[in-house]
Structure 1
Amino acid sequence: MKLLVTGGAGFIGSAVVRQAVQAGHEVVNLDALTYAACLDNLASVADSPLYQFEQVDIRDGAAVAACFQKHQPEAVLHLAAESHVDRSIDGPAVFMETNVMGTFHLLQAARTLWEGQGRPEGFRFQHISTDEVYGSLPSDPEVMFTEDTAYDPRSPYSASKAASDHLVRAWGETYGLPVLLTNCSNNYGPYHFPEKLIPVIILNALAGKELPIYGDGSNIRDWLYVEDHADALLTVLQKGTVGRSYNIGGENERTNLQLVETLCAILDRKRPLNSGSYADQITFVTDRPGHDARYAIDPTRIRDELGWRPSVTVEEGLERTVDWYLDNSAWWQALQGRDGVGERLGVKA
């Protein structure tokens, strides 16, 4: 199958590209190469005859349309997005432009191609979204997000993703475009851009800096290893029912404090300090505005309908992630000078 992957030089997108090429798919990676993109993420497939790269900004409708006509993909996996909540608080406009209008341009280009080809039944437009569109959950472990949970976004980022989800459903209902939607929990793993929580903690710990935790650290997230997520996305693409949405979770709920303490314990074993523990560097900082208390995915649908479950526990995944950052310092050192990395963002509200 010939796939067009948007945002394929990003964290999750590059994992999808790597797995898709390894599975024998032709892949066109459409990416604008904004601050969070890194083509080094794709070094393992860059020379493959199955891989092509197009530097295109999804906010440019004409360029997107031209790319679709040039490559004639059989399926689209749309991952390109502005995704950092703190950045959305400081500068929401680019989130609306990229996540909302960019998705619109992609849908229009996909619709034009699909209709021009005679509406082939096998075509798919798969939109990758987030559990943050559902809002915040109470602490009751029995209460989880399902595909029927009402949308209640709380940040500019999650609002922009909710809007793009609605656009995709509308193009499916109005124009008959064969769409699929997925909403995932928090991803982590190799190649995670160093402004997100887990790489911030690892890299700050190694540098002897404070390990900042918002509020009291009680916020709960469900953690999904990125390679598991990529596998789930390709499963949905190949087996999912058109028009259906699938929640993808890691079945690994942890408070932020628990997560950071686990990372510190792993680092204590793998890169011990001369004295004390990395946990001594933990510092609680002022919470960000609108910080949702808990996210948790009910993965029943994808498990029962498609037979997919995560293969990596959070403990195993964090071990792999720490190992990767310890072994790939050249990768993350090259990114630390990029705009906003290492700064406290999301404080302008």
Structure 2
Amino acid sequence: MSHGGSHRTPLPLAGLSAIVTGAGRGLGRAEALELARLGAAVVVNDFGQPGRDGSGEASAAPAEEVAREIRAAGGTAFAHTGDVADFAQARQLVESAIAEFGKLDVLVNNAGILRDRMVFSMAEEEWDTVVRVHLKGHFNTTRFAAAHWRERSKASGAPVYGRIVNTSSEAFLAGSAGQPNYAAAKGGIVGLTTSTALALAKYGVTANVICPRARTRMTEDVFAGLSGPEGGGLDPLAPEHVAPLVGYLASPAAARINGQLLVVHGGMVAVVERPRVQAKFDSKEDTFGYEELDAVLGAHFAQRPAGETFAAAEVLGLRRGEG
């Protein structure tokens, strides 16, 4: 991670500054370390609550520990412990990066919590809290970073450098029956990302979204029965498999990648194709009636497997080299 030595090839993120939210542990930590290794100055943001459901007393320790680790390796970093789901604190986070580094170049949104429950059992608070942290948290930081880039671009009369990497989940793609709040929030993040990508492209900013699969505090139940590799080696579900893609999307080399959804895990990256119309029916008259709809849709779905939904469960089966 050391940045010294004029004889070395310039690091791809040298001279850039970045914010990584939820960076005190797991994926966010791995991403912050990777951005720093590639030369970026990093704001390590983490609210620091110990429970994966967002419970417990907030602590500055996780964010500060990662920031110290980056500095010890020769990088530049400082910790920020604000709650990104709070509009004012998200604004302060972005402003702190600008104040410290003169500008913001990269925003990686990763902060999140879980409150799993079946839809018929879910409490209002469990819904609201998850949507607040994931979806509103992504919006809050994006809103202030986007305003910064727009203002800079207008002031200079030219595009600026900006990268957003958001974090969705295969739970959104596959439906995840026990996570209606999480799946909905993660689906919303994809919509937020594509909208942002279109809105900010003229200012020189790209926005992409990843669906990472990794063994973290958030996924300890999902991967409880899967052990790491025997005899050492990197766990296929290690967050370190995800971080390089985030670093790449944050780099100048990824300028042509915008508004994309990528699934990443264990040495595999899959570019997810946007939805396509599978079948189309036109009414014989000006509008459809009940009987005609039953005739065309009934016949169409009778040919498809029983219980098949829009959920792309096959994405969960992707392995290296497939697709």
> Shorter-normalised TM-score: what interval?
0.5 to 0.7
Deviations 1:262-292 (A, max 9, x none): xxxxxxxxxxxxxxxxxxxxxxxxxxxxxx9
Residue 188 of structure 2 is aligned to residue 163 of structure 1:
yes
> Bigger CA drift: 51-60 or 165-174?
165-174
Match of 2:211 in 1: 184
Structure with max Cα Rg:
2
Q: Is the 8 A contact 1:13 1:79 kept in 2?
A: yes
Going from structure 1 to structure 2, the CA distance change for 1:249 and 1:22 (only over 3 Å counts) comes to closer
Q: Does 1:10 align with 2:28?
A: no
Instruction: List per-residue Cα deviations over 1:134-181 (Å, max 9, x = no partner).
Output: 1259xxxxxxxxxxxxxx996211111111221122222245462332
1:74 maps to 2:101: no
Is structure 2 residue 34 aligned with structure 1 residue 19?
A: yes
Shift of 1:15: 0.7
- Residue identity in the other structure for 2:105: E
2:167 alignment partner in structure 1: 128
Q: Which residue of 1 aligns with 2:8?
A: none
Q: Relative to 1, partners in 2 of residues 1:117 and 1:166: Cα closer, same or farther, differing over 3 Å?
A: same
Q: CA deviation at 1:83?
A: 4.4
Q: Distance in 2 between matches of 1:153 and 1:86?
A: 5
What residue is the counterpart of 1:233 in the other structure?
246
Match of 2:7 in 1: none
Amino acid of the structure 2 residue aligned with 1:187 = A
> How far apart, in 2, do the equivalents of 1:78 and 1:112 lie?
16
Equivalent residues of 2:169, 2:186 under 8 A apart: yes
Structure 1 stretch 48-57 or stretch 118-127: which is displaced more?
118-127
| Cα deviation, residue 59, structure 1 | 1.5
CA distance in 2 between partners of 1:161 and 1:198 (Å): 17
Distance 1:245 1:109 in 2: 22
Q: 1:247 aligns with which of 225, 239, 263?
A: 263
Counterpart of 1:116 in structure 2 is 151
Q: Per-residue deviation at 1:125?
A: 1.4
Q: 1:194 to 1:57 in 2, by over 3 A?
A: closer
Q: What is residue 338 of structure 1 aligned with on the other side?
A: none
The CA deviation at 1:5 is: 0.7
1:247–1:298 contact (8 Å) kept in structure 2: no
Residues 97, 86 of structure 1: alpha-carbon distance in 2 compared, 3 angstrom cutoff: same
How far apart are 1:246 and its partner, in Å?
2.3
Q: Please tell me the residue identity of whatever aligns with 2:108.
A: L
Q: Pick from 197, 200, 206: which aligns with 2:221? A: 197
Partner SS for 2:317: coil
Distance 1:296 1:84 in 2: 25
1:296 matched to 2:317? The reply is yes
Give the TM-score, by structure 1 length: 0.55
Structure showing the higher strand proportion among its residues: 1
For structure 2, the 5+ residue unaligned runs are 1-15, 53-58, 99-103, 228-235, 269-311
- The share of aligned pairs that are identical, in percent, is 14
In structure 1, the residue matched to 2:70 is: 45
- C-alpha separation in 2, matches of 1:20 and 1:155: 32
Secondary structure of the 1:92 match is helix
Contact between 1:249 and 1:297, CA under 8 Å: does it hold in 2?
no
- Separation of aligned partners in 2, 1:61 and 1:44: 29
**Relative contact order (alpha carbons < 8 A, sep ≥ 6): 1 or 2 greater?**
1
Can you give the 5+ residue segments of structure 1 that lack an aligned partner in the other structure?
Answer: 138-151, 204-222, 253-291, 304-349
Indicate if the aligned counterparts of 1:32 and 1:55 stay in contact, CA closer than 8 A. yes
1:182 shift after superposition: 3.0
- Determine helix, strand or coil for the equivalent of 2:70: coil
